Amino acid sequence: MASAFRFDSLNRAQREAVGALDGPVMILAGAGTGKTRTVTCRIAHMLEKKIPAAEILAVTFTNKAASEMRERIAGMVSKKAAAEMTVCTFHSLCVRLLRAGIERLGYKKNFAICSYSDQVGLMKQLLVRKGGSDTKVKAEAVLAAISKVKNLGKDPAEELQDDYFRLLAAAYSNELRAQNAVDFDDLLVLAWRMLEGNGDLRDQFRGTWCRVTVDEFQDTNALQMRLLRQLVGPPHHVCVVGDDDQSIYGWRGAEIANILEFERFFPDPKVIRLEENYRSTQAILHTANSLIRHNRGRREKILRATKAGGTKVRVVAMPGDAEEAEFVAEEILAARSRPDRKWEDFAVLFRTNIQSRTLELAFRERNIPYRVVGVQSFYDRREVRDILAYLQLLASPESDIPLLRVLNAPSRGIGQATAVLATDWSREHHGSVWQALCDPVFTATVGAKARAAIESFIATIGSARDRIVIAKQPPADVLDGLIRDIDYLSWLERGCKTDGEREQRREGVRLVIDSLRDHHAKGKTLQSFLDDSALASERDDDLEKQQGATLITLHASKGLEFPIVYLVGLEEGFLPHSRSVADGTKDEERRLLYVGITRAQQELTMTWCASRVKWGEQTSCTPSSFIAELDTEHLEISSYDDILGAEADADDLAEFFGSLKESLDRLP
């Protein structure tokens, strides 16, 4: 076979990794160090060394990543060899394993795999069956709790703390078993149990796949490590590729100990560090290195730039989040005027979903095309659509679509069957659904409970509408009062799985009310606010298909790169997140910032705000403690008041960091 690549096209560490084919190997691939090229060249080298393609297994986390790896390998070897290799996700691998032996666990070979919607539907049935139709427990919350325990390799029916959840977990498991069905978590759990309990099957698969590669190893959880250990026996021809400095998914079960303690699982591995970075400038990498070295227990590595120099990394102090968004938008607008720049060169990274809202507004005002990645656009969030629907009712109750959206949100005893009857009635009488609900002839056709609920709903909306139309009260005040009267927030929060989600939902509601208040203060009408919101929602529907600057969460940015990056919101409570201190996850927050910094290829600007609007009030903020950890050699400190200001001198830097460290020392 002709060589699929040239060894002299690789750097020293890459050549070492490609040539290390035997025994356990761990490739610590720093950000931007050519990880994917190294992995694909290593697999191609296996084929050159006459290792049969059918004996090669490569596992990663997403279908997209598996597809890209498969395509790259196919471009380097014969199509026949590429087809004979197994390149797949963990879940796809488990399906293949279970099809070969799930009967050993009491299932039939033709088991079904439940989609998430199937799981929710089944759990809703169990909730009614076990707790009654008026249960407040959400199916999604139970499934999330079950999933978390399963991915620890434990039985939810025994390990869940809540008695009711344990009951539901047992019933859920029994129902799936009765239907010869499994969910996605079961694929991992059952594959591991099958191999652990059946030595002949374990040996069969160890003989099938003699060379195993695992990509993005820092993202594996405890159960995936157990599965890997069953698949790989002596002489342990396994290669894991990852970067502990980019382990940012602990909140969803990723176990950083898998990469930090790899020697405990596979003895005497060869550890190879890829440290030559082909993405970012020296200034950016020096800043990233100075941050991540503060993490404890990490595997030491230092990214080295192949691009010398570079403009300094800017840290800009902002008075507030509105000014922050305006600053970023204006800078992008100005930089885009250069003939060698396109909108896609720019990315704005942020820690929490809610931060996208002010940025979106600033971009819209300046007609900057953009796309949102890793977060729903503000105007497409459930709570925002609900609140806007209520506002549309206050403006015009004759609109059927918003009325039907919130007719039973929050739950008030007007079920789907009643909504269908009202819709049919309105069509037959050539009127609106609102008119049907107000017509006593129609309400006489429904049950007493539904009739009482309809009358209460009509009275509530009518009263609120009168306060706007007749009493001329500010729409924002009326909307705020209506939300409280119907107890919308309590109902909304009951469907949230985490404190973070509850906070995000509440903040979304508050932002709509605050935006309406600002709109009214400018002398604009309620209808113009609704028109603007409708147009915004219409644009958002197609955001993923648009080109433009990128607004993206830090978590979603992993694996991506952009010429010019703005990293906003570097304040205590945002980054590091307020929960990280209590949860003991500040090191992971530092890794998250490290990931953000290393997304930048040419220019990086980081901002923090002295105050930020939260819950409708201006709240004071302090700069992130991470800023004080950055080496000042390649930093330029400036403020909003001196936005075009010259680079700060050494005395300015010393004064800034000295005062910053003093203020951080006083934090509780």
Closest CA relative to residue 570, chosen from 592, 542, 600, 599? 592
Whether the bond between 235 and the residue before it is cis, its omega within 30 degrees of 0, is yes
pLDDT averaged over every residue in the chain: 87
Superfamily of domain 7-98+189-274: P-loop containing nucleotide triphosphate hydrolases (3.40.50.300)
Q: Which residues contact 272 (CB under 8 A, 6 or more apart)?
A: 13, 16, 17, 20, 25, 26, 27, 28
Based on its alpha-carbon atoms, the radius of gyration of the chain, rounded to whole angstroms, reads 28
- Give percent above pLDDT 90 in the chain: 56
Residue 636 among the catalytic residues? no
The residue ranking higher by pLDDT, 472 or 405, is: 472
Residue 307 among the catalytic residues? no
- What is the four-CA torsion angle of 449, 450, 452, 453, rounded to 10 degrees? 120
Identified catalytic residue from 246, 281, 550, 632: 246
- Please give the distance of CA 657 from its chain centroid, rounded to a whole number: 32
pLDDT-derived band at 646 (thresholds 50, 70, 90) equals very low
Check if the beta carbon of residue 174 is closer than 8 Å to that of residue 181: no
E-assigned strand segments in 261-411: 270-274, 276-281, 304-307, 313-318, 346-350, 370-373
Residue 556 identity (one-letter amino acid): A
Reported as a single tens digit per residue, the pLDDT across 89-124 is 898 899 889 989 999 998 887 777 777 777 888 898
Task: For domain 380-540, give its CATH number from 1.10.486.10, 3.40.390.10, 1.10.3720.10, 2.40.240.10.
Answer: 1.10.486.10
Identified catalytic residue from 36, 306, 435, 445: 36
Identified catalytic residue from 599, 603, 605, 632: 599
Q: Which residues contact 130 (CB under 8 A, 6 or more apart)?
A: 164, 167, 168, 171
Return the H-helix or E-strand segment holding 27.
strand 25-29
The answer to whether 7-98+189-274 and 283-369+547-665 have equal CATH topology is yes
What is the predicted pLDDT for the residue at 496? 84
Identified catalytic residue from 183, 186, 215, 540: 215
Q: State the Cα–Cα distance between residues 566 and 543, nearest whole angstrom.
A: 20
Residue 216 among the catalytic residues? yes
Identified catalytic residue from 183, 185, 186, 216: 216
What is the predicted pLDDT for the residue at 615? 64
Q: State the Cα–Cα distance between residues 592 and 607, nearest whole angstrom.
A: 16
Residue 35 among the catalytic residues? yes
Given a cut of 60, whether residue 320 has pLDDT beyond it is yes
Closest CA relative to residue 353, chosen from 534, 503, 566? 503
Residue 246 among the catalytic residues? yes
Residue 641 identity (one-letter amino acid): D
| SS3 of residue 351 by DSSP | coil
Provide the residue ranges of all domains of the chain, joining segments of one domain with +.
7-98+189-274, 113-179, 283-369+547-665, 380-540
**Rounded alpha-carbon distances, angstroms, from residue 39 to 17, 33, 102, 613:** 8, 12, 32, 46
Check if the beta carbon of residue 272 is closer than 8 Å to that of residue 13: yes
Q: Does the domain at residues 283-369+547-665 carry the CATH identifier 2.30.290.10?
A: no
Reported as a single tens digit per residue, the pLDDT across 472-488 is 999 999 999 999 999 99
605 backbone dihedrals φ, ψ, rounded to 5°? -125, 130
Query: Taking the model in full, what pTM does it have?
Result: 0.73
The answer for 123, left when phi > 0, alpha when psi is -120 to 50, beta otherwise, is alpha
